Every structure is written in C-alpha cells, then in structure tokens.
Chain A
C-alpha cells in the first residue's frame, strides 16, 4: 500500500522567492512519484515524475524535484516564483509492481505568490 503526506496545506511566497513544497511518501514497493498542478476549474497537469534512474528530476515551468529514498521524500522546488505559479500542487505515488495503476495523492498544497 502507498500513502503520501504533503506538509503544509498552504504555502505563500513572494514573487522571485524560492518555492519549496514538501512531499513524503510511504510505499511497500519501489515507488513511482509524480507532481501534478491544478489551476482553478481545471484538471490536473503533470509537472514531473520519477520512475527510475537519476534522482533529480526536472519538469516543466522551471520546477524540479529530488527523490531521496533514505528520507522517503520527493520535495518540489523552483528557484524563483512567478505569479503564474499560483495553483494547487499534488504529490502522488504509484507502485512499481503488480497492478499498481492507481495514483494515491496527497491532500495538496495551495501555493500563493505575492507581488
């Protein structure tokens, strides 16, 4: 079974500041990890994913995340926040074995960017 914990339901940063959204996971099998973004009244859009290989993953819109197995973490970062980054962000996990087709999501983190 898998689970995801996102620390901080609401994060507020100033435009140009570092964005750090935290995600910790629990998985009984090697995980596949994802970050999705949701803008108001829209579906989810994939930012980046980790499956295997390099543990530092780069995604769209300048975001990146690092898979740290020892810390069971997959935190999302962006060096400089832009007003257009304001949205809700979801960390999700699936398992690598068997019929692990479903995404298990965290509760989400609402990112506010202040001018």
Chain B
C-alpha cells in the first residue's frame, strides 16, 4: 500500500497570501488529522476529519481551516498568512476512529512565509 502523500513538499509564500495544502491518506483510511510542527511550539494538533466531517479541532485561529472529500483526501487552508505560520505541516491518517489506532504520517509540507 502506498503511504500518506502530501503535496506540495515545499512552499514559499508572502505575508497576507493564502495557501492550500493537500493530503492523500492511505487507501481505506477514513480519518485524516493535521498537525503543525515548529521549533518553538513543537507538534500541535490542528484538526481531524472523518467521513467528511470535522470531529475535533485544536486551538488555532479561524484562519486555519480544512475539509475532507468523499474519497478521504483532505485539504487544509491558511488565509492571511503570518510569519509565524512558517512550519512543517504534517498529515496523518488512520483506518478507523479511536485513540488507540496508529496514525500514519506523511512526509509533511514545509511552508515558509516571507
């Protein structure tokens, strides 16, 4: 099975722009979660989608949003980019719901905001 794929791998934007990141989960996985990784704050949960519904959301401003499509692929969008949004954005998928399930991570999208 192919792993979790994320596109693009690298992205450079300027302040005020918006950006969309894409995540394709492992085939058959219905849950997709997004995490932000920065040197200062570490790994922080953004949101989780299951069957096109957002089930859980982290403590991020409304500029961060996401969605999931019927084929389980997910996108996250960040509007009005700020310098502090520079980070590695990781997507993870899991087969079913439940905290005991392993989350399989993609390689991430490295976003740089200038």
A: residues with CB less than 8 A from B are 32, 34, 36, 41-46, 49, 51-52, 90, 92, 94-96, 99-108
Contact = CB atoms under 8 A, between A and B. Distances in A.
B102 A101 contact: no
Interface string B66-79: 00000000000000
B4 interface: yes
Interface of B: 4, 31, 33, 35, 42-45, 48, 50, 55-56, 58, 90, 92, 97-100, 102-108
B107 A43 contact: yes
Contact of B48 (A42, A46, A51, A102): A102
B85 to A, nearest CB: 19
A108 B106 contact: no
A99 B55 contact: yes
Contact of B100 (A32, A42, A90, A102): A32
Nearest to B57: A102
- Which 7 pairs show the lowest CB-CB distances between chains A and B? A94-B99, A43-B105, A105-B43, A100-B99, A102-B45, A44-B105, A51-B100
